[in-house]
Chain A
Amino acid sequence: MNRNVAEIIDALAAHQDHASIEVLEELGTNSPDNEVREYTSRALVRKNVHDSLKIVIINQGKGINDLSPAVAMSTINEILALKDKSEVIKILDDTINMHSDEAVKENARSVKSLLALS
Chain B
Amino acid sequence: MAKINNVGLNLGQKIANPFKTSRNSTTNPFKYSNFEGNTLQFEYADVFEGSKHSTNNKLKMITSSVAGSMTKLRSSITEPIINFVNRIKEGMSSAWDYAKNTNVSDLAGVKAINKVMNADILDIGKGIGNSISGMGKGIASKMAFLNTDVTDIGKGLSEKWNSLISKVHTNKITKDTTVDELKAMWEAEIAASASKEVA
A2-23 to B contact mask, C-beta < 8 Å, 1/0: 1011011011101101011001
- A11, A19, A23, A27: the one contacting B175 at CB < 8 Å is A11
* Nearest CB of chain B from residue A43's CB, rounded to whole Å: 12
> What are the interface flags for B172-199 relative to A under an 8 Å C-beta threshold, 1 for contact and 0 otherwise?
0111010110110111011001000000
B183 surroundings in chain A (CB, below 8 A): 23, 27
Let me know if B193 and A2 touch, CB within 8 A. yes
User: Are A27 and B179 also in contact (CB < 8 A) when A7-B173, A8-B173 are?
Assistant: no
Interchain nearest-CB distance for B187 vs A (Å)? 7
Residue of A nearest to B166 (CB): A4
Residues of A within 8 A of B185 (CB): 4, 8
Instruction: Verify if B170 is at the interface (C-beta below 8 Å from A).
Output: yes
User: Which partner residue on chain B sits nearest A5 by CB separation?
Assistant: B189
User: Which 9 interchain pairs have the tightest Cβ spacing?
Assistant: A19-B179, A23-B183, A8-B186, A11-B173, A20-B179, A4-B170, A7-B173, A8-B182, A27-B186
Shortest Cβ distance from A26 into B: residue? B183
Which B residues have a C-beta under 8 Å from some C-beta of A? 167, 170-171, 173-175, 177, 179-180, 182-183, 185-187, 189-190, 193
Q: Which residues of the other chain, B, contact A11 by a CB distance below 8 angstroms?
A: 173-175, 177, 182
Beta-carbon contact of B179 and A5 below 8 Å:
no
| CA A33 to CA B170, docked complex, whole Å | 21
Q: Can you list 9 A-B contacts (CB < 8 A)?
A: A4-B185, A5-B186, A8-B182, A8-B185, A11-B175, A11-B177, A11-B182, A23-B182, A31-B190
Q: B residues within 8 A CB of A4?
A: 167, 170-171, 185, 189
Classify chain A: how many residues form its interface, as a range: 10 to 19
A-B contact count (CB 8 A): 43
| Chain A residues near B193 (CB-CB < 8 A) | 2
Distance, CA A31 to CA B185, complexed state (A): 15
Query: With A and B bound together, what is the CA distance between A88 and B175 in angstroms?
Result: 26
Contacts of A5 in B (CB 8 A): 186, 189
* Chain B, residue nearest A22 (CB): B179
**Which of B167, B170, B177, B186 sits near A23, CB closer than 8 Å?**
B186
14 additional A-B residue pairs with CB within 8 Å, beyond A11-B173, A15-B175: A4-B167, A4-B171, A7-B170, A7-B173, A8-B185, A10-B173, A11-B177, A12-B182, A15-B182, A19-B179, A19-B180, A27-B183, A27-B187, A31-B190
Chain B residue contacts of A10, Cβ below 8 A: 173
- Chain B hits for A8, CB < 8 A: 173, 182, 185-186, 189
Residue with the highest number of chain A CB atoms closer than 10 Å, among B180, B182, B183: B182
Asked whether, in the complex, the Cβ of B190 is within 8 Å of the Cβ of A27, the reply is: yes
Compute how far the CA of A23 lies from the CA of B179 in the bound complex, rounded to whole angstroms: 8
Docked complex Cα distance between A103 and B171 (Å): 40
Contact in complex: A12, B187 (CB < 8 Å): no
How far in angstroms is the closest Cβ of chain B from A4? 5
Q: How far is the CA of A27 from the CA of B179 in the complex (A)?
A: 12
